[in-house]
Chains A and B, each alone.
Chain A
Amino acid sequence: MRGAHRSFTRRGLLTGTLGSAALLAGGGTLTGCGTPAAQQTEEGCVSEDLSGAERTLAFSNWPQYMDVDEDDESRRPSLDGFVSRTGIQVTYTEDINDNNEFFGKVQNQLAACQSTGRDIMVLTDWMTARMIRLGWIQKLDRSKLPNVEANLLPSLRNRPFDTEDQYAIPWQSGLAGLAYNGRVTGEIRTVDELLTRPDLKGRVTALSEMRDTMGLLLMSNGHDPTDFTAAQFDDALTKLRRAVDSGQIRRFTGNDYAPDLAKGDIAACVGWSGDIIQLGFEDERIKFVVPESGVLLWSDNLLVPNRAGHKANAEELINYYYDPTVAAQLAAYVNYICPVQGAQAELEKIDPELAANPLIFPDEAMLAKAKVFMALDEQQEREYETKFQQVIGA
């Protein structure tokens, strides 16, 4: 063993490595003190618009959220129409699959006021609210959006997180309500039925999206999701906890409830109108229900992030999609609620049956029952989200 400490031993290497790692860790933590504030201001983070010189636009969207040609899936008729009408070349990327995941993807750049390489992106209300609050979204020039001014559905104007419609323009909207599979259970009319009916025990799912599930519960308690107190939230949460503890609710889901509902593994659920219309095409006994107490109206919004280089081009695109003819073309493909007035009349020319569908063009009665969830500040968002996550198990 004479030469042992000289030679290359496993123990020596390990001690050395662990020792230097510990040293580095100590040094690293001392120097890397915390993270900087992510909050940006309009004055602090100025974006330059190159639209005059560059006729290009980078557009990030969710998969299957844009009409494609029936014969050639790589062609997108409405988008191609925009390109030929304006001469603006659009790079269209379907790289948004999940609001939280996408937030993780862009947060470092936006927190540091750097470009994400995107001129326009589509995010859901609550994420939109968070990004506006963080000062990460550019203000739009309303004078360049005459179609939006004229055609945006009244119930989608002046929403709580963007009271003057300056930052976020709806791309498509949808309802969060109840759904059931008529092959395995009878009709369901209220949230309370979903949460307590014995024959549904263990065959119910709710959405892991806090605002949708809690919004419906708040309304079932007679409270207003647009304006509620912490105590009212706790009441609704207690109701949910009871349904989880009793085993009534089987799981909390994202979009993945759809195949389970189709198979009949779950009999009823809290779900989104667009998914249920799709399922309804294949099996007419799968139905969407607007509960008496009310439904949640949400939107995915077109946003122009800070340091996007082509804001004016983006405004041209937004304005283009608020042309009722174009909106009808899109609505015929995506089956969500079309936020554009006048598109219904246009769709009647293409597909009268679809144009009569109240889940794509809701009537006054349905819109009267639809509410948008309150805009939460950062403190509330974390408090409510933590409480909700504890009930849903994480």
Chain B
Amino acid sequence: MSAPAHVPTASGEQPASPAPAARPGRHRFLPYLLLLPGAAWLFLFFVVPLVQLAAASLYDPAGSLSTGYALTWSFDNYPAALQAYWPQFGRSFWYAGIALVLALLMGYPLAYAIAQKAGRWKHLLLVCVIAPMFTSFLLRTLAWKTILSDNGWLVGLLRDVHLLGPDGRLLATPVAVVLGLTYNFLPFLVLPLYASLERLDRRLLEASSDLYASPLKTFRRVTLPLSMPGLTAGTLLFFIPATGDYLNAELLGTPNEYMIGNVIDSAFLVRLDYPQGAALSFLLMSAILAVVFGYLRNAGTRDVL
């Protein structure tokens, strides 16, 4: 599952409908024609693999590579997979959730500052947010290994101020994994937020304070609601890949921090248990979809769907 395809826009409900005056019949299929290349792409590289994966999740678990797998509609694969790996499932959502909260605490002020207060530094700051994305995800995570190293300056400093015990460490702990997730996906949260906040009409803020609203109230009643589309999109763009991530847990954590992505990776590549790997993938996908739909319903944004 990848991120939702479109970032919500403020104009929502009236999409490009054909001009009513000129022969409507002729243009009726035009939008579909325009969609064709994209749809064909999605069909080949998303729908077809998805169907294959769905089929694989229902293969006979007793099959093997050498004898082949028969499609036996074994729905039992799902409860079995969940039973075996529910801790990693829970952990994925738990870590991604904490990382999201941390990212919101850092990302919202950051996006706000860039959009509203940075003045001529705006573009430079934006580049600073985006620039790390030019290097590979793997390299960035490996860099964190050096920063959090047991013999690095950070751990030394934390030991000196007694935030860490003399044998304390950051690397190979849940803290490191959550920090890695927060860092790696932060730009996905900041950029949509920035886009929303940048359009914020400052006259509305002035009006709010003219009407005797405190800064806090202005934020709650004006800024926050107006940034909601960006916040919703950013949250989803952050949370969805963070939940399925396995690299941070693999490189910065220990087996006790492994997330569901690590399990799926090993099911497909190491254990060659395709039915279980496929079932776990679908479970992850449906769990994320459930969370996303629940969230959207509560966030009251119909723009994303």
Contacts and interface: CB of A to CB of B under 8 A. Distances in A.
How extensive is the interface on chain A, given as a class?
35 or more
A129 B35 CA distance: 49
A202 B270 contact: no
A252 interface: yes
Contacts of A32: 51-52, 55, 71
A101 B269 contact: yes
Contact of B51 (A25, A100, A260, A391): A25
Contacts of A25: 47, 50-51, 54
Interface stretch (A4-12, A303-311, A318-326): A4-12
Given A263-B151, A264-B151, A38 B66 contact: yes
Interface string B48-71: 101110110011100111111111
A24 interface: yes
B80 interface: no
Contact of B69 (A6, A34, A134, A250): A34
A243 B253 CA distance: 16
B20 interface: yes
A265 B256 CA distance: 18
Interface in B69-94: 69-71, 84, 88
A250 B172 contact: yes
Interface stretch (A53-61, A216-224, A381-389): A381-389
A225 B253 CA distance: 30
Given A29-B71, A249-B255, 4 more contacts: A34-B60, A39-B66, A251-B255, A393-B258
A394 interface: yes
A378 interface: yes
B135 to A, nearest CB: 18
B70 A378 contact: no
A336 to B, nearest CB: 24
B229 to A, nearest CB: 15
Contact of A134 (B32, B54, B66, B265): B66
Interface in A22-61: 24-25, 28-29, 32-39
A250 B255 CA distance: 8
Interface in B262-305: 262-263, 265-266, 269-274, 305
Contacts of A6: 24, 28
Given A24-B47, A244-B255, A386-B271, A378 B65 contact: yes
B271 A8 contact: no
Contact of A9 (B15, B258, B263): B15
Contacts of A8: 15-18, 31-32
A21 B47 contact: yes
Interface in B1-55: 15-18, 20, 24, 28, 31-32, 35, 47-48, 50-52, 54-55
A392 interface: yes
A34 B63 contact: yes
Nearest to A264: B151
Contacts of A14: 305
A63 interface: no
B218 interface: no
B18 A265 contact: no
A394 B266 contact: yes
B271 A265 contact: no
Closest 7 pairs (CB-CB, A-B): A393-B255, A37-B68, A393-B258, A28-B51, A394-B266, A39-B66, A7-B17
A239 to B, nearest CB: 15
20 contacts: A7-B17, A8-B17, A8-B18, A25-B47, A25-B50, A28-B52, A29-B58, A34-B69, A34-B70, A37-B66, A38-B65, A38-B66, A101-B269, A104-B269, A201-B167, A244-B255, A251-B254, A265-B151, A393-B254, A394-B262
Contacts of B256: 244, 247, 393
Contact of A265 (B15, B68, B69, B150): B150
Contacts of B262: 393-394
Nearest to B172: A250
A66 to B, nearest CB: 25
Nearest to B265: A394
Interface of A: 3, 6-10, 13-14, 21, 24-25, 28-29, 32-39, 100-101, 104, 107, 111, 133-134, 201-203, 244, 247, 249-252, 256, 260, 263-265, 378-379, 382, 385-386, 389-394
Contacts of A378: 64-66
Contacts of B54: 25, 29
Given A8-B15, A34-B59, A393-B262, A29 B68 contact: no
A389 B266 contact: yes
A21 B69 CA distance: 24
A25 B71 CA distance: 14
Contacts of A385: 270-271
B116 interface: no
Contacts of B48: 28
A34 B271 contact: no
Given A33-B71, A251-B254, A263-B149, A382 B271 contact: yes
A260 B150 CA distance: 10
B241 to A, nearest CB: 19
Contacts of A28: 48, 51-52, 55
A394 B258 contact: yes
B254 A250 contact: yes
A176 to B, nearest CB: 17
Contacts of B47: 21, 24-25
A9 B54 CA distance: 29
A251 B172 contact: yes
A378 B68 CA distance: 12
Interface in B150-180: 150-151, 167, 169, 171-172
A265 B149 CA distance: 6
A104 B67 CA distance: 17
A134 to B, nearest CB: 6
B232 to A, nearest CB: 16
A100 B269 contact: yes
A249 B254 CA distance: 8
